[in-house]
Amino acid sequence: MPAPQSGRSGPRVPSNPSVADDRESSKRSVLLLRWLVIIATSYLALFSGTYGAGSTVLLICFIASNLLLTRVPVRLFFHTATLVALVIADSTIVSVALLLSPGLEGEVFILYFFVILLAAAGGSFTGVVVAAIVVPILYVFSIALARGWSALLHTEVLLRLPFIFCVSVFYGFLSERARRDRARAELAELSERAKTQLFSTLSHDVRNGLGSILGFTEMLVDGADGELPAPARRTVLQIQSTSLHIAQLISNLLDAVRIEEGELHVERAPVALGPLLISVTDRYTAQASLKKIQLETSIPPDLPPIRGDELQLDRVFANLLSNALKFTPEGGHIGIRAGTLPEGPRVDVEDTGPGVPEPDRDRIFAMYHQTERGRHAGGAGLGLFVVRTILDAHGAKIDVQEVEPRGARFRVTFPAAGEA
């Protein structure tokens, strides 16, 4: 008897953007921002009224530098030395533009803010600090060379210096906080990917071991090595039951991981419900006999097929039957009945357990949700969540009904084969 499988392979590693992709995106953002500075500088130089050979050389150097930066590897581009060099170079170019554009000091001054923003976008706190020091110094010298040292005493110049320093500090604070947040997010992503991969590997190994245990116990129960004494047979059945429960739990955990990551795949093919239900029931016969629970099936031979994923539907009914066995007391009764409703085939899994209180009948399908009885019975609160998710993917419905005088009925209704 093979252990229920949880998929065609272990859960794939999440397809989130990698750290390298994020850095490449940040590099493009910095280069685009530099193009904005280049365009603005070009505009001011062209319309300053003093355009000449010096302006041409300045703009060619500025444009060439950005084209060359596109070829710089990401790792080198975001090196602190590279970003600091960019800050100094861009601040110098803007200062030269200020000298070449007399009367436009106010307009050129705005470009300094873009230089600081470039340093912040590069994620370099050191670069922002350098900008906070270099930009005011270059601005002072540019104004002094363009208008004389006495111009530094003008109110507008005196106000600009502390203002640009404060902006630099503010950008630096935002840059450092963004860097730390990004580092935490990258660490969390790597940790999550590592946990998922480790869980997948361990689960795969455990499932293989459980498959062997279940296979050997089935051989012993069938008398492959001779008839077992009653006490030994009961012990083997207990091992088989426990192994099946663990296999089902691992299957649900892996399915929950897939569902959270959007990796649950449903293949469409004709599925014969009758043989599927009988196969699932046979798998749990030994577990039912341990609790002296009577398993009854009522499956008409003319039950129409449905379109769906047989492996996924196997997990649906395995979970429903396992859930019924968990809550049905010793000596109870479980029925698996199939039929056809006007809207399509239906399957009922009924038990003589405590039932499901009305307020819990919808909540029990939520991830990790357990009723008070469920917490005492054990489990992770994932089985019914997996059931509903798989059925939703098939366009099927599930609801919980009360059974008189005692128990619960889980009814699964499938769409007609032509509608699936």
Boundaries of every domain in the chain: 1-265, 269-413
* pLDDT beyond 50 at 35: yes
Q: For residue 203, what pLDDT is reported?
A: 64
Q: Please give the torsion angle defined by the CA atoms of residues 100, 105, 111 and 116, in that order, rounded to the nearest 10 degrees.
A: 110
Per-residue pLDDT tens over the stretch 203-262: 666 767 777 777 778 788 777 777 878 778 778 777 877 777 777 777 777 777 777 777
Q: For residue 159, what pLDDT is reported?
A: 72
CA distance 52 to 309: 73
What are the tokens at 79?
């090196």
CA distance 243 to 264: 25
The number of beta carbons lying within 10 Å of the beta carbon of residue 385 is 21
* pLDDT beyond 50 at 378: yes
The closest of 162, 167, 159, 64 to 119, measured between CA atoms, is 167
CA distance 293 to 287: 9
Q: For residue 379, what pLDDT is reported?
A: 59
CA distance 389 to 254: 13
Give the helix, strand, coil percentages of the chain, each rounded to 5.
65, 10, 25
CA distance 205 to 199: 10
What is the mean predicted confidence (pLDDT) over 373-397? 78
Q: What's phi and psi for 295, nearest 5 deg? A: -100, 125
Question: The pTM is what?
Answer: 0.53
Q: For residue 295, what pLDDT is reported?
A: 92
Q: For residue 85, what pLDDT is reported?
A: 82
What are the tokens at 292?
């002296």
Q: Which CATH number is 269-413's, of 3.75.10.10, 3.30.565.10, 3.30.300.30, 3.40.47.10?
A: 3.30.565.10
Q: Which residues contact 332 (CB under 8 A, 6 or more apart)?
A: 291, 293, 294, 351, 352, 353
Q: For residue 349, what pLDDT is reported?
A: 95
Per-residue pLDDT tens over the stretch 41-60: 777 766 665 556 766 777 78
Q: For residue 3, what pLDDT is reported?
A: 42
Identity (one letter) of the amino acid at 368? Y
**Collapsing DSSP states into helix, strand and coil, what is residue 348?**
strand
Residue 109's Cβ-side half-sphere holds a number of Cα atoms within 13 Å equal to 19
Q: For residue 16, what pLDDT is reported?
A: 46
Q: What's phi and psi for 397, nearest 5 deg? A: -125, 150
What are the tokens at 87?
């800050």
Tokens 């110094």 belong to residue: 137
* pLDDT over 70 percentage in the chain: 77
C-alpha pair distances (Å), 220 with each of 3, 292, 344: 16, 20, 41
Identity (one letter) of the amino acid at 167? V
Q: For residue 398, what pLDDT is reported?
A: 94
What is the mean predicted confidence (pLDDT) over 181-196? 75
> What is the DSSP pairing of strand 333-341 with strand 294-298?
parallel
Per-residue pLDDT tens over the stretch 92-128: 877 777 776 666 666 667 777 777 777 777 666 777 7
Per-residue pLDDT tens over the stretch 317-366: 999 998 899 889 999 999 999 998 888 899 999 999 888 888 888 888 88
Instruction: Give the 3-state DSSP-derived string for 352-366, with helices as H, strands as E and coil as C.
Output: CCCCCCHHHCCHHHC
Q: Is the dihedral of CA 252, 253, 254, 258 positive or negative?
A: positive
Q: For residue 391, what pLDDT is reported?
A: 92
CA distance 196 to 111: 47
CA distance 320 to 59: 72
What is the mean predicted confidence (pLDDT) over 298-309? 90
C-alpha pair distances (Å), 414 with each of 74, 82, 217, 361, 396: 53, 62, 35, 19, 5
Q: For residue 18, what pLDDT is reported?
A: 53
C-alpha pair distances (Å), 229 with each of 219, 221, 226, 284, 291: 15, 10, 10, 21, 19
* pLDDT beyond 60 at 19: no
* pLDDT beyond 50 at 9: no
**Collapsing DSSP states into helix, strand and coil, what is residue 266?**
coil
Q: For residue 1, what pLDDT is reported?
A: 42
